[in-house]
Structure 1
Amino acid sequence: MVDDGSKDNVSGEINIWVKKDSRFKYIYQDNEGVSSARNKGLDHATGDYILFFDPDDLFSTNALENLISLAKDDIDIIIGKNAITNGQNYDIVEYLVHYSKPLQKVSNQDKNLIKIVVEEPIICVAWNKLYRRDFLKTHNLKFKKGVLHEDELWFFETLFKANAVIFNNEPTYFYNVTNLNSVINNMGLK
């Protein structure tokens, strides 16, 4: 878990996880921006899968199990469904647009993935997706620094290099829109 110079108690929260589970690591860096933090996380990752999240958001209680259960040898990206929540009680306000077909594997080999991207709503962000780490490493997929909406660019780079992607219609990620400290609400920051 990478702390990009937070000014709140993120380090305390991360240390709770690090103490509970040795697979978690706490990495601190001065505020270098989200791309740098994500790249640092990619460089230090040792597990089979990569998952990005913001500290003010939540996963569903079974998100990891749900996403990992869909991970097969040829699946490079598993995309979950996103919900928007409003504040401390995390009540769901609405679901973000999502590819709405039943659980489906889509291969880049048959060009269906390009058709889906053009015709269907897909949230083009890094979070709420499970990526195979060896796939990201093989293709040297890193976030571009100093670019607005860098996760959208990165998402398409990963999407079009993936052998296969699966869309999961189970809600797994709850995006909190009321935190005034979140990166998306402070677009002028790094």
Structure 2
Amino acid sequence: MNMPFISIIVPVYKVEQYLHNCLNSVLAQSYTNWELILVDDGSPDSCGTICDEYAQKDNRIKVIHKENGGLSSARNAGLDVMTGEFVSFLDSDDFWHSDYLKILMGYFNTGDVDIAQCDFVRGVETVFPTFSLESSCMVYTNHSIFTSEAAKIIMWGKVYRADFFQDIRMPEGVINEDDWTTWKLYYQAKKITVTNRPLYYYTYNSSSIMGINKKKPNLSYFGAYEERINYFRKNREKDLVDVSHMQLCKSLILLYANDMLTNEQREEIRKRFRESWKEITNSPMVSFKLKLIFGVFNLCPTIMAKIISILR
């Protein structure tokens, strides 16, 4: 079997209770031709020491110790030193199925695939659960990935060709950095292979960025959608402009259901929603069901937010 070399980048910060399980899941991979780049982002706990201990046991593991700069800064530091032909990201409080690399790397042997993506499961377990679902695999272009339901804005759960990052880095100093980056990687790809197999375990960690954001809403990701919409408009990708507006509308409705929003934030959400909804009211890219939901939210945002909260 052809086994190209892959770089695995793990940003590490204040996750000492999860880190062993994360790193052990990499060491347990059935695919063995890899380097593991651990980026200790100035973690104040024992994470730095744990990283060094693993590096002493396996020469495939490299450790970078740096001042705290945030998730994007840590990932970028790993990208700057990687040597693999491919690259994958793993958050340090999460872990992989033992065949994560074997399955995803296998798709690159079937043609000119640029990105391989899997599904994920979330929870608080430390052992990967067993699934009996019938696995399937779909292939998308850099256009159809956006117009389907397959696109996932998260950086992890994918294997990328490393040369995709020659001109792309994650923006530093912002929250929701994945929103600014993943769409660029999708659009750069000629072919994206997506499997429904859950091979990535997302650990619910209340102290993580994702957990914190549920308590302290941050609206900075609006800028990522503006950048994306403007880019697609400039490239005359009308369908992708409409899909981007649609996805922004969906995210705004979900965000509006957050009880921690300020009145100013709620007004900003309504304003953004009205602007995007106006753009796609008659778009064929938006289903009748979504148009109905968007229309109700536009008229009665509080009622729709309560319905969303109940459904969630």
Render the CA deviation track for 1:17-53: whole Å, top value 9, x for unaligned: 4234323210011110111111111111101111111
Q: Which has the higher contact order (CA 8 A, sep 6+)?
A: 1
1:90–1:23 CA distance, 2 compared to 1 (3 A)? closer
Higher strand share: 1
Contact 2:128 2:201 in 1 (8 A): no
Shift in Å, 1:171: 1.1
SS of corresponding position for 2:155:
coil
1:167–1:3 CA distance, 2 compared to 1 (3 A)? same
Aligned to 1:133: 162
Render the CA deviation track for 1:123-158: whole Å, top value 9, x for unaligned: 311111111102222xx1110112221112201111
Aligned to 2:139: 105
Identity of aligned residues (%): 30
Shift in Å, 1:159: 0.7
Inter-partner Cα distance in structure 1 for 2:187 and 2:128: 34
Per the normalisation by structure 1, the TM-score is 0.80
Inter-partner Cα distance in structure 2 for 1:166 and 1:17: 32
Shift in Å, 1:12: 3.4
Shift in Å, 1:90: 5.2
Shift in Å, 1:55: 1.1
1:17–1:131 CA distance, 2 compared to 1 (3 A)? farther
Indicate which of 118, 121, 132 corresponds to 1:80: 118
1:23-38 matched pairs, under 5 angstroms: 23-38=60-75
Inter-partner Cα distance in structure 2 for 1:58 and 1:147: 25
Shift in Å, 1:54: 1.3
Gaps of 5+ in 2: 1-37, 130-134, 217-312
1:18–1:71 CA distance, 2 compared to 1 (3 A)? farther
Contact 1:104 1:168 in 2 (8 A): yes
Shift in Å, 1:105: 1.8
Aligned pairs, how many? 173
SS of corresponding position for 2:72:
helix
Inter-partner Cα distance in structure 2 for 1:148 and 1:9: 25
| More deviation, 69-78/142-151 | 69-78
Shift in Å, 1:102: 3.1
Indicate which of 196, 214, 230 corresponds to 1:169: 196
Contact 1:90 1:176 in 2 (8 A): no
1:10 is aligned to 2:44: no
Shift in Å, 1:57: 0.7
1:58 is aligned to 2:95: yes
Higher helix share: 2
Aligned to 2:288: none
Aligned to 2:175: 148
1:22–1:113 CA distance, 2 compared to 1 (3 A)? same
Inter-partner Cα distance in structure 1 for 2:98 and 2:53: 18
Name the amino acid aligned to 1:70.
Y
The runs of at least 4 aligned residues of structure 1 exceeding 3 Å deviation read 89-92
Indicate which of 195, 209, 216 corresponds to 1:183: 209
Rg bigger for which structure? Answer: 2
